[in-house]
């Protein structure tokens, strides 16, 4: 008679005791409050009346800084956005007057479609200006954190 081989009880050779549960060093509950030594909100050099009072002198100083040690973008962004808004509204109004002088249908079309286009262009200009300002602010923050040599 032939013997039939018995299958091994553990084909993968796993240990008989279960492995210990992995410990996660990040599983601790976060603190419920911010320690008093940390500020809850950073003050920005771009807000407040003190920053606005030095803008006029700081603008021309930054504009004619040929060493490029100060940035002019944070001082110019508001003016550029106001200027773009004024020019876009004046352009839309001139198209509106020209459209209504031609026909009422064209004037109504420019009134609706032109207003939508005006809002889209203002949004694009705003996003571009915010992008440039964010890049400059990041650069200023990096320069502040770098060690001085």
Terminal alpha carbon distance of the chain: 90
Please report whether residue 22 resides in a domain: no
Please report whether residue 51 resides in a domain: no
**Region 37-50 average pLDDT:** 48
| Mean of all residue pLDDT scores within the chain | 78
* Whole-angstrom distance, CA of residue 16 vs CA of residue 129: 65
* Whole-angstrom distance, CA of residue 113 vs CA of residue 42: 42
Please report whether residue 133 resides in a domain: yes
Quick one: CA torsion of 116, 119, 121, 125, rounded to 10 degrees? -170
Please report whether residue 39 resides in a domain: no
Q: Name 126's Cβ contacts closer than 8 Å, sequence gap at least 6.
A: 81
pLDDT confidence of residue 60: 78
φ/ψ (deg, to 5) at 113: -70, -35
Q: Could you say which DSSP state residue 20 is in?
A: P
For the segment 45-85, what is each residue's pLDDT rounded down to a tens digit?
A: 444 444 444 556 677 777 787 887 778 888 889 999 999 99
Please report whether residue 77 resides in a domain: yes
Please report whether residue 86 resides in a domain: yes
For the segment 86-96, what is each residue's pLDDT rounded down to a tens digit?
A: 999 999 999 99
Number of domains in the chain: 1
Judge whether residue 133 has pLDDT over 90. yes
Domain that includes residue 100, residue range: 71-145
């Amino acid at each position: 008679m032939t013997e039939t081989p018995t299958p091994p009880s553990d084909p993968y050779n796993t240990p008989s005791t279960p492995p210990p549960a992995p410990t996660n060093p990040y599983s601790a509950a976060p603190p419920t409050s911010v320690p008093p030594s940390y500020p809850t909100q950073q003050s920005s050099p771009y807000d407040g009346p003190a920053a606005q009072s030095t803008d006029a002198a700081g603008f021309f100083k930054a504009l004619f800084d040929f060493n490029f040690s100060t940035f002019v973008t944070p001082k110019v962004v508001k003016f550029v956005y106001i200027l773009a808004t004024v020019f876009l509204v004046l352009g839309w109004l001139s198209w509106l007057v020209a459209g209504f002088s031609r026909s009422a249908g064209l004037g109504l079309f420019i009134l609706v479609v032109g207003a939508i286009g005006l809002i889209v262009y203002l949004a694009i200009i705003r996003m571009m200006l915010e992008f440039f300002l964010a890049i400059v602010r990041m650069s200023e923050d990096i320069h502040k954190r770098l060690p001085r040599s």
